[in-house]
Chains A and B, each alone.
Chain A
Amino acid sequence: MKSHYWSRLERWSARWVRVHTAVVLFFLIAPILIIIPLSFNTSTYFSYPMDGVSLRWYQAALFDDQWQRALLNSLGIGFASTLLATILGTLAALGLTRPGFPLRGLIMPLLISPMIIPIVVVAAGFYYIFAPFGLVDSYLGVILAHTVLGTPFVVITVCAGLQSFDHSLTRAASGLGATPWVCFRRVTLPLITPSVATGAIFAFATSFDEVIVVLFIGGAEQRTVPRQMWSGIRDQIDPSILAVATLLILFVLALYGCASWLSNRHRNEMP
C-alpha cells in the first residue's frame, strides 16, 4: 500500500497511532529514566533542577550494613529458591510433555496457579500452617515460599522449549543402547538447556523482586533488598533508595540481556 493510496482517515489515524505510541512508551520508560539522575543529586530533594552531582547516596547505600545484608539475603534466597524451582519445574515439564501424561488438563493449571493466586493469600496460608514448625522468621521458609512462586515460570518455559523438541532423538539414543539417565544427560538436557536457563532467570527475577512473602514470613534477619526498599518508602525515604533503584535497574537489565541472548541462541539452534 503506497502512501498516495491512503485516504485522509488512514493518514490521520496512522499519525494518531504514532503519537499515541510515543506518549505511551514515554509513560512507560520516563519514570525509570527520571529517577536515575536524581540518585546523583547532592541534596535530599526529589526534584529538578538538581543542586549538584555527587555519589554520596551511592556511598550511603553501598556502605550501609543493612543494605549489604539485604543484598546478600536477596542473592542467597534467590539462588537457593531458583535452584529448587528449576529442578522441580524441569522434571515436571519433562513429565508433562510426555504423550501419556494423565489428567494434564487438570494438573497443568494447578502447577501454574501460584502465578495467579494472590500472593497475600499464599503468604498468609504459609504463615498460618508453618509457624508452628519454626519456618516463620527463617531462611528456609522464605526460600520454600519463593520456590513455590518461581516454579510456574520454569514449567511454562521448559514446556514451551520441549514442544519443539524432536522426540525421535531420544528414541534413537535409547535404540542405540543408552540408559534413560544417559539419554537425558547427553541428549535431552543439552537441547533444553536454553529454556531451562530462561525459566531459571524468570524464577530468580521473581524471587529477587518479591516483597510480600518476605513481609509475612521473613524476620529482621531475612530482610531482602525489596523489603528494605519497602520500609525505606514507608518510614523514611531518602535518595539512597534511588541509588539502590538505579543499581537494581542495571542489574535487571543485565538479567534481561542474559535471557534474551539465551532465547536468541535457542531460536538459532532449533528453528
Chain B
Amino acid sequence: MNETIPTPEGGLAAPDALNDAERLQAYRRVKRQESRKALLLAAPLLLFLLITFIAPIGTLLLRSVQNPEVPLALPEATKLLQHWDEAAMPDADIYAAMAQDLVQASKQGKLGRVARRMNFYNPAMRSLLLKTARKLKRDSRDDLQAALLASDSRWGDKEIWRVLKRAGQSPTPDYLLNAVDSYVDKTGSVASLPPEESVYLAAFSRTIWISTSVTLLCLLLAYPVAWLLANLPARQGRKLMLLVIIPFWTSLLVRTTAWYVLLQPNGVINSLLSGLGLVSQPIPLVFNRTGVLIGMTHIMLPFMILAIYSVMKGISPVYLRAAQSLGAKPLTAFIRVYVPQTLAGVGAGCFLVFVLSLGYYITPALLGGAGDEMISQLISIQTNQQLNWGLAGALSAYLVIFTAIFYFIFNRLVGIDRLRFG
C-alpha cells in the first residue's frame, strides 16, 4: 500500500536517470494498479449483487416487454400471422398452421400456458383455445380452415386473430400499457380504460398519496421532537432518545401486531374511548386508510426524527444568538436562520420516508382494507395468484423507475453514504 511513492519498475535505475515522461508513465502505472486493487476488493460483492440482485430485477423488468408463450407453443401460426396485414381475414395457410399448432401444442402440454397468456387479453380466449384443441383432435377432415371454423364460430372473428398476432410480438408495449390501465385497440391506437374501471393508475396514485401523507405527517410530528432532543442537556436528551430508538429497533411485525391489537373495534383504544364516554359505538380504526396511516407513520417516524436530529445536533447556537443580537425577533431568527440549516436533515428524512413508503407491503396488507392496496401488494397478487409475470414486471418497472429517480436526486443533493441509523 505504498501509494505515494511511484517506484520505477525494479527500482534499479536511479531516479535522476529517468526523464519526466517515464516518471509520469510509472506514476500512472502505479495509480492504475492501486485502483485495480481497490476494485478487486469490491469485486466479490459486485459479482454477488450482479447475480442475486441486478440480474433478477433486470430480468423481471425485461419480462414486461416480452411475449414468449405464444411463439413458443404456436410457432408456425405466429410466424405467418406477423405477415398478415389485418385488412382482410387471414388466409387459409394461417388457418391451417393455427389448427396444426394448436393440436401439436395440446399434445406437448404447452397449450395451458398459451391459454393463460391469452386470458390476460380476453377472458374468453382461454376456453376458446382449450375447446378448439379438444375438438380439432377428434376432427379428421383435411380442410383445416373448415375444421377450425367448425370447432367454434369465433375463429371467423378478425378480433381473435388480431389479438393472437399481438401476443406473438416481442417486444410488446402491452404489459406496460396495461399497468397504466391502457391498451391498444382495434385501430392500433392507445386507448385508456374508463376511470371507474381503473385499477393500476388508481393504485399508483393511492401509493403516492399514502406515501406523501405519511411523509408530511412524519415531518410535522418529528421536527419539534428532534429540536427538543437536540437542544436538551446531553444526558436528558440521550435518555429521551431511547424512546425513539426502541421503537426503531423493534420488529416491524411486532409493531404492526401491536397496532392490529390496539385498533380493533373491541381493542384497547376503542374500549378506552367508550369507557371515557367519548364515543357511543366503536370507531373503525383498522382495515381502512386510518389504520394504514397510523401504522406506517409509527414505523417511519423514527427515521425522520433521527435524520433531522443528526443535523440539528451539529448546528451551533451562535447563529441564532447572532441573529437575535442583530435585532431579529425570535420567530424571524428561527425561520430565517435556524430552519434553513436543518433543511439537509429534513430532505434526508423526507426522502427516506417517502421512498421506503412507496414500496411498502406489510403494514398496508395487515392494517389496510379492500381499498388500500399499494402497488407492492398488486405486484405480489400478479406473481403469486395471477401468475402474470409480464404485468408484474411492468408494475415493478414503474415502481423501480420512480424510486430510482428519487434515489438519484437524493444522492446528488445529500449523498447516500451519509445515511446513518441509530
Q: Which chain A residues have a beta carbon within 8 Å of chain B's beta carbons?
A: 1, 7, 9-10, 16-18, 20-21, 24-25, 27-29, 31-32, 34-35, 38, 45-48, 88-89, 91-92, 94-96, 98-102, 107-114, 116-122, 124-130, 144-145, 147-148, 151, 153, 155-156, 159-160, 167, 170-171, 174-175, 180, 183, 202, 205, 208-209, 211-212, 215-216, 226, 229-230, 233-234, 237, 241-242, 245, 248-249, 252-253, 255-256, 259-260
User: Given A28-B302, A108-B416, A129-B56, is A229 in contact with B243 using a C-beta cutoff of 8 Å?
Assistant: no
Q: Are B416 and A124 in contact (CB under 8 A)?
A: no
Q: Are A92 and B41 in contact (CB under 8 A)?
A: yes
Q: Are A121 and B330 in contact (CB under 8 A)?
A: no
* Max count, chain B CB within 10 A of own CB: residue among A47, A91, A107, A256: A47
Q: Are A48 and B253 in contact (CB under 8 A)?
A: no
Residue of A nearest to B228 (CB): A21
**Majority-rule SS of B interface residues:** helix
Q: Are B262 and A31 in contact (CB under 8 A)?
A: yes
Q: In the bound complex, what is the Cα–Cα distance between A142 and B79 (angstroms)?
A: 41
User: Given A114-B49, A174-B1, A233-B257, is A130 in contact with B56 using a C-beta cutoff of 8 Å?
Assistant: yes
| Contacting residues, chain A, for B222 (C-beta < 8 A) | 24
**Majority-rule SS of A interface residues:** helix
| Contacting residues, chain A, for B147 (C-beta < 8 A) | none
Instruction: Assess whether B268 is interfacial by the CB under 8 Å rule.
Output: yes
Q: Are B42 and A91 in contact (CB under 8 A)?
A: yes
Encoded as 1 (CB less than 8 Å from any A CB) or 0, chain B from 19 to 60 comes to: 000000000000100110111111111101100111111111
Q: In the bound complex, what is the Cα–Cα distance between A145 and B359 (angstroms)?
A: 17
Residues 230-284 of B at the A interface (beta carbon under 8 Å): 240, 243-247, 249-262, 264, 266-268, 271
Q: Are A32 and B56 in contact (CB under 8 A)?
A: no
Residue of B nearest to A171 (CB): B1
Residues 367-422 of B at the A interface (beta carbon under 8 Å): 376, 379-380, 383-384, 389, 392, 396, 399-400, 403, 407-408, 411, 416-417, 419-422
Residue of B nearest to A128 (CB): B60
Instruction: Assess whether B156 is interfacial by the CB under 8 Å rule.
Output: no
Q: Are B330 and A7 in contact (CB under 8 A)?
A: yes
Residue of B nearest to A174 (CB): B1
* Max count, chain A CB within 10 A of own CB: residue among B49, B52, B245: B52
